[in-house]
Structure 1
């Protein structure tokens, strides 16, 4: 049988050669192809035609296997969307907790099946709204959360035992998780019944975003503290969402997104194991967050490659024994950087293609961007269209009827192999540099991404790459889309709230709890219980961060 397969592959190769030299050469002589070279969005060459790949034919079980089984190339669940659709988790948050709460209720009424919270920049970095560092940024790119009082309003009327919540928060993740736990307590929902995810991925902040507060070492300590605490007390919570999304938004290629994201995961796993945690105790709750861009087939191959590579690393490198520790489960967001201010209605089409990429690639949850996000925060109408995009793909497209429908595509399988190999090469390079933290401190990762972003920008400038409405098919247009704007009075509103919270709380108890947190930061105790104690007494996010910063210090980016 093996000889027959080899014979068939040889026959196909010979037939392809004749096809290239005959019909293709004749046709190209009369009608040249549109480009000398076709490439993916990541600048990978695309061949004219793909034929069966011998390794896939010979090593099917090792390379593809079956859904729900190692190496999970074809999906992490045995029945995938035939059993349950992905979570339609729309990312939202702006202005005050009151305004964001209204938007969350609206999304749930429209059929959203999970919440995803966007926080403003001061909250992300751990500054109170009345801090001088917060001027002009309060409530602008997300909701302002200063204390437990804001968190109580944010989830007012939203039962935390029935709704899964994702929180895009990193530097101050431990504090926001503590606030969520405290809100659950006030609703009568114990911590072991809470479901959701905190992003909690500080390494990508040093790489791609910059919303860090503390240096890497204490930041990694907080992450491992969260792993340990949630394993015991919040077992249904996903303790980290290791983010390739922001790496891709910064300009990486698909292979870099996979390689750098999994290299971050390796660092987190190593940190937790050095802190005494057993890999199978925390790894099943690790989750990932990737971008979906418009090069449909490259994105599908990327997701499949990421699953296979991660499974191998967890099984072989870290000797994890629980199959759930091998699973790469991920949330997807459509590509914000792909949206254009020109002809914004075109963004609806882009998002639809990206939605298909995420679903065909096997995502576990998905946020779809709105058409107006290149211009402003999305309006309710545009958010509804974005959610409807997911619902139409789920209910009308037919792509959810079978698992991994592009599996076996000659092109997709070879591209999956290629992305996996390139991503692994990046991981090996980072290992040579001593791990992800030294690679970041030396600027290696940042420079690789910067070069890719530059190359992509140049390809648009030279018209080698077409972006519809930007460098081709332009029209004269005036902006007629109603834009959503955050009122400038939000900063004053939040400052007044902080003053009221401080007037109503027991100041002496707050000082005692903050002092205990500072003292614990000097040792090696798990800081989550101390943070939770301070949160319950309505200490503000800025006060809690300041209590730790006195020990940890602030991080300033420098390249060796």
Structure 2
């Protein structure tokens, strides 16, 4: 018998055999929701199959959305380009070479009108991966919904709006942490009154994991950030039983099948405890609802079709872990933005799991497995140890300002890379079962000429809009930013007058400064 120590990616030791587990008293849909947030889970309603897309111009992305909707996608998910994420218009010198590359370029309400052309916002849910400029993009979405005549009380979707993980892992922040937190709580407050079905934040572990964290770190740092948002909203005088219902989470799913399932089950249990301890009494305010995306950093450029199997494995773990919505990555994403054929296979992967595998027929099928129950407990215990440490520092903002989270993630990434290089971790096609490159020739490229196109659109816009009205709207926003006033109505007003994203972000830069 080998003496090799078996561990999960987070270093939790795995025994050769499990012979008992703590008995499960709870049922699905009951506190603390380890077994899922609905009594009937996927028997009642499948997860939302939400494919992430967005590239080049609003016109091009609109075509991809119509294609995905025709293929059976049930929710849209918008990727924005880097200039949009950090508050620059496409004609800004900082935007050079980045326009439309990692997502769609949005400069004004005009672009949002084109992006959703022929799509009724009242009939779909939309998720927008946007953080520093979340208030501006949400304002544009609301403005379009109003123009379409939709009832704002009924439109639904999610903005990521999770700035803390930007400082810790991803880097698309603009303002310092404290004014950034103000914008987030302004959105919470505004939406709880005006757009009550909107998920005002998607607290994201995804990018923490992509930056190299372990599964346990992803869970711990994400929930610690969530706790910080809860406290900020409570400090603003908001009712946890109202606003906590509109928080959602966004997790990654990597290759270690059982650890990922345990992570999702532990996450629900831990969040139920965190919200209850902070005063939530309404069950819906104690529930952790989450979107999952399969792990981009697990995909290899070598033997790209192997990624179809990785994505299937990860998607299955997310479903067995009880996700509310799912994005499956394209097999060619280590090479380029996904081609249409890769996007279709990714969606078909979810449809085959949903309709052919049988895993949706019963709730929490792995409950009571000695291994899964023990691993759920172990993951939870390891995550609480991190959260206690962060609490002792005074919460996530302090832990980020002192580089604690960043260093923990960097150390984990370094350990993993070392294990790949010395062969302790096997990556099929990379450090074992390798072969001469087989070519995938069909890669997706975004042309640099998009910047010229967007600049033309901006010039036309500025020549035809009422510039005096824009200036007045921006002036009012600047004054409000200096005072203790909710900024959302003023941002919506500026957007409706066709102020650009960059103009609005600049007004806030002038007041808040840059980080």
- SS of the counterpart of 1:192? coil
**1:484 maps onto 2:452 in alignment:** no
Which of residues 31, 44, 59 is equivalent to 2:12? 44
Q: How does 1:244-323 map to 2 (within 5 A)?
A: 244-316=205-277, 318-323=278-283
Q: CA deviation at 1:47?
A: 1.1
Spell out, residue by residue over 1:3-52, the C-alpha distance to the aligned partner (whole angstroms, 9 max, x if none). Answer: xxxxxxxxxxxxxxxxxxxxxxxxx2xxxx3x612222223221111111
TM-score normalised by structure 1 residue count? 0.91
Q: CA deviation at 1:481?
A: 3.3
- SS of the counterpart of 2:121? coil
Q: CA deviation at 1:478?
A: 3.8
Give the number of equivalent residue pairs: 515
Partner of 1:558: none
Partner of 2:142: 181
Spell out, residue by residue over 1:373-430, the C-alpha distance to the aligned partner (whole angstroms, 9 max, x if none). Answer: 0000010000000000000000000100011011111111111001111111111101
Q: CA deviation at 1:488?
A: 1.2
**1:380 maps onto 2:380 in alignment:** no
TM-score normalised by structure 2 residue count? 0.99
**1:370 maps onto 2:325 in alignment:** no
Partner of 2:127: 166
- SS of the counterpart of 1:258? helix
Q: CA deviation at 1:132?
A: 0.6
Aligned-residue RMSD, C-alpha: 0.8
Listed as ranges, the gaps of 5+ residues in structure 1 are 1-27, 556-560
Structure of greater relative contact order (alpha carbons < 8 Å, 6+ residues apart): 2
Which of residues 23, 45, 49 is equivalent to 1:84? 45
Partner of 2:89: 128
Partner of 1:398: 358
Higher-Rg member (1/2): 1
Q: Aligned partners of 2:309 and 2:407: how far apart in 1? A: 32
Q: Aligned partners of 1:152 and 1:266: how far apart in 2? A: 35
- SS of the counterpart of 2:494? helix
**1:530 maps onto 2:490 in alignment:** yes
Q: Aligned partners of 2:452 and 2:440: how far apart in 1? A: 31
Which of residues 54, 59, 62 is equivalent to 1:93? 54
- SS of the counterpart of 2:147? helix
Partner of 1:199: 160
Which of residues 117, 127, 138 is equivalent to 1:156? 117
Which of residues 15, 31, 35 is equivalent to 1:70? 31
**1:211 maps onto 2:172 in alignment:** yes
